[in-house]
Amino acid sequence: MKLSVIGTGYVGLVTGVCFAEMGNDVICVDIDEKKIETLKNGQIPIYEPGLAVIVQNNYKSGNLKFTTDIKMAIEQTDITFIAVGTPMGEDGSADLQYVLAVAEDIGNYLIKPMIIVDKSTVPIGTADKVRATIKKTLDKRGVDIDFDIVSNPEFLKEGAAVNDFMKPDRVVVGADNEKSLEIMKELYRPFTMNYQRFIGMDVKSAEMTKYAANSMLATKISFMNEIANICELVGADVNKVRIGIGSDKRIGYHFIYPGTGYGGSCFPKDVRALIKIAGENNYSSEILKSVEQVNDLQKMTLVKKVVKKYGDDLTGKIFALWGLAFKPETDDMRDAPAITIVKELVKRGAKIQAYDPKAKEEAQTCYLKDVKEIEYFESKYDVLNNAEALLLITEWKEFRSPDFDEVKKRLNNPVIFDGRNQYDAVQKKNDGFEYHCIGKQME
């Protein structure tokens, strides 16, 4: 099939290249000329395992094209995916200005019947707004061209997006037109051949499914973090509790690992957006409000542990951080707990030495660019030199089994604040480390 994908961010690029990998002719469009030239040169503006190779292969084969010419892309394709950003507004709602701007472009350049697919995460009712914008633009042109709006939310995990697209748990498509639904089913057939994973529904239900899924996962995280905090107060071990409840098939082990809170591009934004949507419909979502509140408080957990040990005045003290990204296998720092932790420690007079395998540039140029009391290192061991303690923030694989003798040698004092509960064995071995984790009292 001939497809165009408007927006070459995380979702758009993965969507475009994975469809191209299955033999479709795909044109990826972006208004950022520098980004398009970078992609043409085989360079990927985001870190996502496995993405670079298939982008380069499909661009060389001709299945995948990159352009800033949206008019050409719309004229030459039959299905257009809208995959531009929907940043969170100040009131928590999703900002649709970029989605509707693309809709207006489509209305200006549409010359034949087309299926327009909302791939961006958008509030319930956005398809109606996109349809109205295109129709209004076509009316201004004085033309009548058939088009259909379809909702196709993405369920990609950062760090595993290519695999998630190629081997999806489910493909959700909302359409009010049976013909469009069948065309989308055929488009996704190569990805759903082994099992029947294609789920068709109405447009508004598809739009709601995305928000419901992310909010449910965020709820599990906040619930488990709250359980961890209670465990610590009463003397229970949250790691044992997690195993005890995860063995129940109705609960499962996914998303019940305690930590410093969730972050990233999806959970924070989608929870807030759904709270906003509920409020606009005169409903107060108390569970989701609590999920967000617990998560905000959880980002302070390690800071409170540091203050409890060293006092509120951290002047002259250096702390080493392992990890800045909100999760491993990505450079994304949007709403990452590390941002809160760094700023709160610095506010109390501390200096930070940080190491992350991929997120250094994001921290330096965006999320921590105004923090002067932070130094970035290229080695997980060099970052420990002269530090009072190590704080583990992100559970990258290279942090799982470090040389603890080297860690002890480099630190001023053998103290670890473990925000991911990875080093429980250190405490059990009783090899001289003072170990602080989440959801368990220090012995």
Active-site annotation, residues: 266
> Phi, psi at residue 4, to the nearest 5°?
-125, 145
**Torsion on CA atoms 35, 40, 45, 46, rounded to nearest 10:** 140
CA separation, residue 147 to residues 138, 179, 209 (Å): 11, 12, 24
State the distance between the two ends of the chain, measured CA to CA, in whole angstroms: 62
> What is the Cα–Cα distance from 122 to 199, expressed in whole angstroms?
19
Residue 416 is inside which H or E element, if any?
A: strand 415-418
At 392 the three-state DSSP class reads strand
- Residue 348, C-beta contacts closer than 8 angstroms, at least 6 positions apart: 307, 312, 313, 314, 315
> What is the Cα–Cα distance from 411 to 433, expressed in whole angstroms?
11
> Phi, psi at residue 82, to the nearest 5°?
-95, 115
> What is the Cα–Cα distance from 436 to 417, expressed in whole angstroms?
5
DSSP string, 418-443: ETT---HHHHHHTSS-EEE-SSS---
Tell me if 411 sits within 8 A of 384, measured CB to CB: yes
DSSP annotation of 378 reads S
Tell me if 335 sits within 8 A of 270, measured CB to CB: no
Residue 133 is inside which H or E element, if any?
A: helix 126-141
> What is the Cα–Cα distance from 145 to 51, expressed in whole angstroms?
36
Q: Residue type for 104, please?
A: E
Question: What is the residue whose two structure tokens read 């239900």?
Answer: 205
Question: What is the residue whose two structure tokens read 């299905």?
Answer: 79
At 201 the three-state DSSP class reads strand
- Residue 243, C-beta contacts closer than 8 angstroms, at least 6 positions apart: none
> What is the Cα–Cα distance from 56 to 240, expressed in whole angstroms?
45
CA separation, residue 180 to residues 5, 62, 84, 109, 125 (Å): 17, 27, 22, 20, 18
